[in-house]
Structure formats: structure tokens, C-alpha cells
Structure 1
Amino acid sequence: MLTNLSIKNYALIDHLNVKFTNGFTVITGETGAGKSILLGGLALVLGKRADLSSLREKENKCIVEAEFEISKYGLESFFLENDLDFEKKTIIRREILPSGKSRAFINDSPVNLDVLSKLGDQLIDVHSQHQTMQLADNDFQLKTIDALADNEKLLKEYTAKLMQYQAVSKELEQLLEFQSNATKEHEYNSFLLQELSAAPLKEGIIETLEEDYEQLNNVEIILEQLSHAQQLLNDEQIGVVNLLTELKQTSSKLGHFGQQYSDVDQRIKSVFIELDDISNEFSNLNDKVEANPEMLEEVNTKLQLLYNLLKKHNAQDVMQLMEIRRELEEKVRATENVESDIKAKKKEVLELDTALNNTAVKLSKNRKGIIPKLKKQLEDTLVELGMASATFKIEIQPSAEFKPSGKDNLTFLLSANKGSAYGELKKVASGGELSRIMLTIKSILAKYEQLPTMMFDEIDTGVSGEISNKMGDIMCEMSQTMQIFSITHLPQVAAKGAHHFKVYKEEELMGTNTKMKSLTKQERITELAEMLGGKTISESALAHARQLLN
């Protein structure tokens, strides 16, 4: 229930603060006084997009704050899901900054507009004149039937399954498309993979092969140099080993003459051991080296293969080739497994299709079951609203495809007058008739939906006299179980309100300012008299006003 509304620096409103109570509240005022501005401010705290042009003073921020009593409406789970503090008196605040940025808060916690809008949908239903045209919309009509049929739980179940079904169906389409385009690509990928798999791919392989190639391709030079090295080391006349042997013998004779001679002797012995080891190593290398044309050809073939693959795949090194091979393996494997994947995905789609159909059948059954009751309630109530001959034809036919809310095609037709043909609401009903039908539907929905507050913005447009009196009675009845607001130009409706507020404009030094006040009984009589007869109030108008209030 809306208990307080505060608006600062919005359009023609400088500062407005109004307290509300439960029951039936009417709001009146001359055309242009600012009733639509009031609704615009309220829309901001319900999640509507902000507009910088709505600032009264462009250098100051606009603040709209609404307080709701929500202890009886089971909203604790919403606050828990959105990590918000639950308060029995919840305050929603919206700020529009001069920069154009907007901020929203629920109980002082910042929230985005999506959260704000979802909470607003559960707190108040603002019915505008534009919304009356939704009567002709199949989605609105179906929503009405679903509310009466208590289909909320089934609809959530259906929506979740539909999203899953659409996702899995899309995956199946992608697999089928992949399969249809994969044959040539599969053959080419398989060829590339076979080519890479046949190559000796491992880290450092090119460097190793290049080293082997250099050795095999230069056997004669290597043997020649090894032979020369051995001659230099072991020649009887000038061999380094023989000369070093003599040097070692000489230094050993000096070793016992002092530490410095002993150190030199040890160093020469170390050199001798190292040189002797080198001589043996040359000998071993010489024994191992031999010409091998076949091995040379094999190494060269491998190198050329790797060089060609690097160039073909535009790769920098063998590691990149190995990564390309891995990717090709995955592609080939995916292509080879696509048939089984398609089979599994088709099974999944079929299972979801069956589950969706079952839920859609339950939805349809519930809808068909409630239609006679809805039809009777509509026609009975419209009799009171001057549409005694109005009859509805509401039928549900199965659809071949899954729709957002089931597999039903809804036909919602009206015959407004006896003997007239049935037709779509927007084609056969006048504006006043649409208003009466919408009020009737809202009054029926109010019995099924746990909505704290409903606000009607001139829903009585196009009606007058006794009909408006009956519309006021319906709103009065609705206010027994929920908070009802009605913005009206009709005195018959305004007189039904338990509380009466007037919206008016005042010219001040800073400009025109929209204000709102609660009327006393005498002020209500005067307001109703003006609504009946204009600014010049007659005694008969005052008497009529008193009669309406009584």
C-alpha cells in the first residue's frame, strides 16, 4: 500500500509531499493542473526511464520518494533474492542528477532499474488510458485468463522448459549445419592431419636433424681433421703428447726443490692428463665416423618435410605445428562424432518437446475450464454498466507451434449490441465501452491477484451519468480488499471516494507550481459542484454535490 509520496523539482512541481491511507482515494483537478505530472513522478520510482527535460530547475537534482507498507504481501523472498534489507515500511527513492544520470534506491540500497521495475510491478498497477487499448491484445487477454485459472506456476514451468527447448533445438540446427558442410572440410582436415602425424614432430627436432645433416654431409672433412689432430698429438718427432711427456719428466725433477716448483709440476701433470684424454677422444671419434649416404638421405628427407610443413602452415616452429595438429585432431574427431551427437541431441529435443506439450495441455485445460466463469462474470458486471446486451465469444484452439505462453490460439470477441456480429474489441467497442470492459476485467483480476495498490487514470473516460455511478461502485467494492486510486473528471466517481485529493496550479514569484491537497468535506462539496456546473457555482450544483456525497 502506498502511504507517502514526495516529489521535488519535477516538471511543474517544486516540492510535493502527500500521505495516503487504504481504501478508495479519488484525485481530481482541472485539465492541465498536473495530474499527469503526478503519475509521471510516481512512474519514476516504479522503474521508468528518466528524462533530463523533466527537471524543474536544471541545476538541481530531482528526487521522487515513495513509501509502501508491504508487511502483508509476502515479498520477503524478493528482497532476499536481490540482497536487499526487508522493511515493513519500504522506501523507494529515485534521483535524476543535473548531469542526466539517474540513481535508484530501495531502503537506501542502490539498485538498477530492472530490480526497481520488478518490485514496482508487485506493489502497484497504474492503469493509463493507453493501457485500455491492451484489451485488444491477445497477450493481455491470455494473461487475464491465466490469472483466473491460477496458471502462474505452470507458466513458470513452461517458460523454463521452452527456453531449454529453444537452446537445445538451436544446438541441433548447428550440428546439422555443421554436418552438411563438413564432408569436404573433413577430407581436407584428415589429409592435413595424416601429413602432420607422419612427420617426426617433437620439440628441438629440427635442430637435432640439422646437426646430424652437417655431420653426415661432411664426413671426409671431419675424418681429415681428426686424423690431422691425432698426428699433431701423437707424432714421434713433433707430437704434442710426446713433447709434453718430456716436459712432465723435467718438471718432476724440479718438484722437490720448493713449493713453487711443485705447483708447476702439478699443473703440467694436469695438462698432460687432459691432453691424453683428448687424444683418446679423437681416436674414439675417428672410429665412429663413417660415410652413410642412406642416413644422410633420410635426415635430409625429414628436414625438407619439416621445412615444407612450416611453410605450408605458416608456422614459426615445430611447437606451432604440434598445436595445429592438435586442433586438426579435434576437428576430425568432432566430424567423425557428429552423427552420434546429432542422434543424442534429437533425443533431447524430443524429450523436451514431449514435456512442453504436456505442460501446454495442462495450461490449455485450465484456461478452457475458467472461460465460462470469466464470460459470465464479464457479462453480468457489464449489465450493471449499461451494456446489458454485451456478450463475449471466448474460444481456445490448439496451435501447431510453441508460443511464449503455451500452444493456444485465443479468440476473444465481443458483440456489444443484441443481434450485432461478433468482432475484435477494438473494432466493435467504443472508447466508453472499452473503459467499462477494462474496469470489469480489473475488478475480476483484483480477486485473484494479491496486488496491494491499483491506480486508474481516467478509466471512466467516455461514460457519464448512472454508468459512471456504477463504475464508482465497482471501484469502491475493489477498495475493500486493496488500495484504489482513481484520477477522474466525473463527480459521480469522485463522490464515491473515502479520501479526496485535488491537484491544482498556483502562480508564484518563481513561476507556476503544481500542488496537491486533501479536501475537507466542505471543500469536497465545492469541488464536486464545480465539476458539475463549472466555476460559477449555483445552489442547485451545491445541492447536487451534497446529494452525491450522501
Structure 2
Amino acid sequence: MLTSLSIKNYALIDNLQVDFNDGFSIITGETGAGKSILLGGLSLILGKRADLSSLKNKEEKCVIEAVFNVSNYNLKALFKAEDFDYEEQTIIRREILPSGKSRAFVNDSPVNLNSLQLLGERLVDIHSQHQTLELTSNDFQFQVIDALAKNDEDLQIYRQELKVYKHLQKEFKELLNFQAEAIKEHDYNSFLLNELIEAKLVEGELETLEEEYETLNNIEGIQEKLSEAYQLLNEEQIGVLTSLTSLKNVLQKLANYSSKYEDIFNRTQSSLIELDDVFTEINRLQDGLDADPNRLEVIDAKLKMLHNLMQKHVANDISELLNIKNQLEEKVAFTENLDDTITKKQTEINSKERELNTISKTIHDKRISVIPKLKSQLETILFSLGMPNAQFKIDLVFSDMFFTNGKDELSLMFSANKGGNFNELKKAASGGELSRIMLAIKSVLAKYIQLPTIMFDEIDTGVSGEISNKMGDIMLEMSRTMQVFSITHLPQIAAKGHSHFKVFKEDVNEVTQTNMVKLNHDERIVEIAQMLGGIDMSSSAIAHAKELLN
């Protein structure tokens, strides 16, 4: 509830500070006294866009601050979602700087206007004869029915399941689109995969084949060089092994004379052993080297195939070709199994659809059950508000579509006159009638859900005394469970308030200012008497005022 409001340097208000109570508060004042200015300042707190022209003194900033007790409003989730600091006594402040820049704060933390509007909608509902479009909205009409049907928990479950359902549908559509494209690529991918499978790729094989190819392709030259090396090592007269053996024999005779000669002998003997091993290896290589034109042809074909595959797939080696082969296997397998995947996804959608149908039917049945009660309550209230022939026709059809709040299509028709045709509210009801219908609806809602502070702005305009008395009773009854304000010109309503505030203009230093004060009991008698009989109050007006207050 709104506990206090402070306005500085706004329109005709220089500095206003006022505290409010719970229950039913009345605001009165002569036409032009500044009640609309007060509402304008409050609207800024609720997220309305600021206007530089609203500054009273253009050289100073405008500051509007309101304190709300939000302990009963279940707003912790909203505060968390919007990253506000939650306080049971929440302070909202708007500042309009001379530069035209506007700032907003919730509990001293800066916030943007969108977030402030979301919070404002949960704190105060300002309602006037010119703000009844909400009543003709299908969403609002559903909110009324669902409040009576206590559908809040079911609707939360429904919306969660609907979100999952829509996500499944999106995935299903993406699968179908992917399948259409995949089918086009499937044959080509299969061809590429078969090529790689037939290549019988082995990691590291390319280097081995290239080495074998070089050997077979140059076998005559290799044989010639190996033969030459064999002769150099083993030629009977001048072969290296023969010479080194002779050298060893010479040095062996010197080894006994000195360790120096022995060391040379040992080194020569080691060299001979190593060179003899080389000779043996050359001999083995010669024996194992055979020209094989057929094998050369096979290797050449395999190498050409591998290089062609590498060029086609832009791969640097067989390892990369194997990775590409694995990727193609996954694509081909996925495409071939896509029908099963799509069938499985369709099964999930069907299952979720059945769940949604079940919860939608529960919501529908509960709505159907409360429509007669809602219709009866509204018509009874409107009868007391001077609309004796008011009738509602509320039809609810369970459709094939999943909407954001179920599967129902709602038709709310109204007739204000006996024997009249039913029509949409915006066509069948005048502005004054819409205002009374809204009052009736809000009074019914107040019995079922926690409504925010509501401010009725002269909704009693053009209403007779007897009906205004009933309107006052309805607002008074609503104030038992919520904070209600009524800006009114009617004494019958003004007398019913728990608190009474007066808005007035005064000239201070030849400057007109708007102010607001809370009236005590005697001041209320005077104010109501003036509302009854004008400034020149008669004794009967005062007596009547006292009677109304009592």
C-alpha cells in the first residue's frame, strides 16, 4: 500500500509531503485545484515518461518519492527478476533534471523505466472514466474469470508445459528442414564415404608407400651403387676390409710394446668390426633387392588414389582423411536414422499435447463452473448502481488451438437495456456504464485476489446521489482487504472515507501553488457541507454533512 508521497518542484506543487493510511481514502477539491497534478506526479512514480515542462522551477530538479508497504504483495520474485533490492518498505524515487534527463530509483538503486512500469502495475491501479479500455480486453476478462476459478497454479503449470511444447515443435520443424536438405546431400555423402572406405586407409601408410615407390622406381641405380660399395669393401687386392685387416695385423704386433699402440690397435679392430657389419648389411640388401614392375604399378596407383583423395578433401595426410571419413559416417548414419529421430520427436510432441489438453480441460471446467457466479454477482452489483436491466452473456468454447492461457475462446457480451441485443462491451456500454462495470468487476476481484492500491478518479461523474451512495458502499467494502482512494465531487462518497484529503490552490508571494492536507473531523464537516451547498454553507448543509459522516 502507498504509505507516503513527497513531491517537489512539480507543476504547481512547490513542496508537498503527505502520509496515507490503509482503508478508504477520499480526495476532494474544487475543479482546477490540482487533483490531476497529484495523479500526474504519482504516475511518474509508476513509470510514466517525464516531461521537462512539468518542472515548476526550470532551474531546479523535480523529485517525487513514494513509500510503499509491499509485504502482502508477493513481489519477491519480481524484485529478484528485475534485480531490485527487496525491502518491505520500498521507496521509489523519480528525478527530472533541468537538462531534461530523467532518473528512477527503487530503494536507492537506479532502474530503467520498463522495470519501473512492471513494478508500478503491481502497486497502484489508477482508474478513471477514460481508462476503461482494459475492461474490453480479452486478456483482462480471462484474468477476472481465472481469479474466481482459482486457476493461478494450473495456469503456471500450463504455461511451463506450453513452453516445452513449443520448443519441441521448433525442434521438429528444424528436423524436417534438415531432412529435406540432408536427403539432397545423402547420395553424394554416401559416394564420398564409399570412396574412402574402398581406399582402405591406414594411418602412416602414405610415407611407407612413397618410400617403397622410390626404391622400386630407382632399383637399377640402387643395385649398381650397392654393388660398387660391395666391391670397395671386399675387393681382394685393394678392398677396404682387406686393407683394414692388414692394418690391424700390423698394429697387433705393436700393441705389446706400449699402451699407446694398444689403443690404436683396439680402435682399428672396432672399426673393422663395424665395417664388417656394414658389409654384411650391404650384402643382405643386395640379396633382398629385386625388381618388381607389378608391385611398382600397384604402389603407383595407390599413391595417385591417395593424393587425389587428399586433394579432393583438402587434406594434408591420411590422418585427416580418416577424420573426414568418420564425419561422413556420422552424417550418413544420422540421415539414414533421421526417420526414427523424427518419429521419436513426434511421439514426444503428441505426449506433451495430451498433457496440455488435460490441464487445459481442467482450466476450462473450472472457468465454466464460476461463470454463472460471476454473471450473477456483476448483474446484482450493477442493479444497485442504477443499471437494473444490465445482463451479461459469457460464452466459453474449448477450441483446437493452444493459447497462452489455455484452449478457451471467450466471448463476453453485454446488454444494458431490457430486450436489447447483446453486443461487445465497447459497443454496448457508454463511458459511464463502463466505469460502473469496472467498479463492479474490481469489487468482485477484491474478494478473491490481493489487488494493488486502487485509485478511482472521478468515476462517479454524472451519477445521482442514490447511486453514488451505493458506489461509496462498494468502495468502502473493497477497502476492507485493500487500500482504496476515491477522487470525488460527491459528498455521499466523500463521507464514507476513513481518511479525507483536500487539494487546494493558494497564492504564496504572488505565486499560485497546489497543496494537499488531511482534514480532521470538523474540517471534513465543513468540506462536505460546501460540497452539498457551496461556499455559503447553510445550517441544513452542515447538519446534512454531519448526518452523512455519522
TM-score clears 0.5? yes
User: Residues 386 and 229 (structure 1 numbering): CA distance in 2 closer, same or farther, change over 3 Å?
Assistant: same
Is 1:36 aligned with 2:39? yes
Structure 2 counterparts to residues 243-254 of structure 1, below 5 A? 243-254=243-254
Q: Find the counterpart in structure 2 of residue 498 from structure 1.
A: 498
Deviations 1:461-520 (A, max 9, x none): 5646443333222111111121112344555544432223345677889x9876544344
Amino acid at match of 1:546: A
User: Residues 256 and 408 (structure 1 numbering): CA distance in 2 closer, same or farther, change over 3 Å?
Assistant: same
Deviations 1:95-115 (A, max 9, x none): 789896866545x67888887
Task: Note the residue ranges of structure 2 that are not aligned, 5 or more in a row.
Answer: none
SS of residue matched to 1:387: coil
Is 1:330 aligned with 2:333? no
Structure 2 counterparts to residues 85-124 of structure 1, below 5 A? 88-91=88-91, 104-105=105-106, 122-124=122-124
Deviations 1:438-469 (A, max 9, x none): 11100100000023533334444564644333
SS of residue matched to 1:34: helix
Q: What displacement does 1:532 show?
A: 6.9
Is 1:451 aligned with 2:464? no
Task: Note the residue ranges of structure 1 that are not aligned, 5 or more in a row.
Answer: none
Taking only the aligned residue pairs, the percentage that are identical comes to 54
Q: What displacement does 1:368 show?
A: 1.3
2:537 to 521, 536, 539: 539
Counterpart-to-counterpart distance in 2, 1:163 and 1:24: 42
Counterpart-to-counterpart distance in 1, 2:530 and 2:377: 36
Counterpart-to-counterpart distance in 2, 1:115 and 1:260: 99
* The 10-residue stretch of structure 1 (492-501 or 5-14) with the greater mean CA deviation from structure 2: 5-14
- Assess if the C-alpha contact under 8 Å between 2:530 and 2:536 holds in 1: no
Is 1:359 aligned with 2:362? no
Structure 2 counterparts to residues 95-494 of structure 1, below 5 A? 104-105=105-106, 122-127=122-127, 131-451=131-451, 453-460=453-460, 463=463, 465-488=465-488, 490=490, 492-494=492-494
Deviations 1:17-58 (A, max 9, x none): 4322111123345555512322223313xxx7x658599599
- Assess if the C-alpha contact under 8 Å between 1:34 and 1:504 holds in 2: no
User: Residues 481 and 239 (structure 1 numbering): CA distance in 2 closer, same or farther, change over 3 Å?
Assistant: same
Deviations 1:49-81 (A, max 9, x none): x65859959998876654333445566777789
User: Residues 34 and 85 (structure 1 numbering): CA distance in 2 closer, same or farther, change over 3 Å?
Assistant: closer
SS of residue matched to 2:132: helix
SS of residue matched to 2:449: coil
Counterpart-to-counterpart distance in 1, 2:223 and 2:483: 108
Counterpart-to-counterpart distance in 1, 2:239 and 2:516: 122
Q: What displacement does 1:378 show?
A: 0.6
SS of residue matched to 1:350: helix
- Assess if the C-alpha contact under 8 Å between 2:468 and 2:492 holds in 1: yes
- Assess if the C-alpha contact under 8 Å between 2:45 and 2:94 holds in 1: no
Amino acid at match of 1:471: M
Q: What displacement does 1:123 show?
A: 4.5
**Count of aligned pairs:** 543
User: Residues 333 and 542 (structure 1 numbering): CA distance in 2 closer, same or farther, change over 3 Å?
Assistant: farther
- Assess if the C-alpha contact under 8 Å between 1:126 and 1:456 holds in 2: yes
- Assess if the C-alpha contact under 8 Å between 1:69 and 1:89 holds in 2: yes
- Assess if the C-alpha contact under 8 Å between 1:435 and 1:461 holds in 2: no
- Assess if the C-alpha contact under 8 Å between 2:25 and 2:498 holds in 1: yes
SS of residue matched to 1:25: strand
Counterpart-to-counterpart distance in 2, 1:369 and 1:440: 20
What TM-score results when the alignment is normalised by the length of structure 1?
A: 0.84
User: Residues 233 and 373 (structure 1 numbering): CA distance in 2 closer, same or farther, change over 3 Å?
Assistant: same
Counterpart-to-counterpart distance in 2, 1:228 and 1:464: 132
Counterpart-to-counterpart distance in 1, 2:188 and 2:462: 74
Q: Please give the root-mean-square deviation of Cα atoms over the aligned residues, in Å.
A: 3.9
Deviations 1:286-345 (A, max 9, x none): 222222223222222222222222222334444443333222222211221122222222
User: Residues 257 and 42 (structure 1 numbering): CA distance in 2 closer, same or farther, change over 3 Å?
Assistant: same
User: Residues 209 and 124 (structure 1 numbering): CA distance in 2 closer, same or farther, change over 3 Å?
Assistant: farther
Counterpart-to-counterpart distance in 2, 1:505 and 1:221: 119
- Assess if the C-alpha contact under 8 Å between 2:46 and 2:116 holds in 1: no
Amino acid at match of 1:539: M
- Assess if the C-alpha contact under 8 Å between 1:431 and 1:461 holds in 2: no
SS of residue matched to 2:370: helix
* The 10-residue stretch of structure 1 (35-44 or 112-121) with the greater mean CA deviation from structure 2: 112-121
Deviations 1:128-165 (A, max 9, x none): 66651121111211111111111111111222222222
SS of residue matched to 1:480: coil
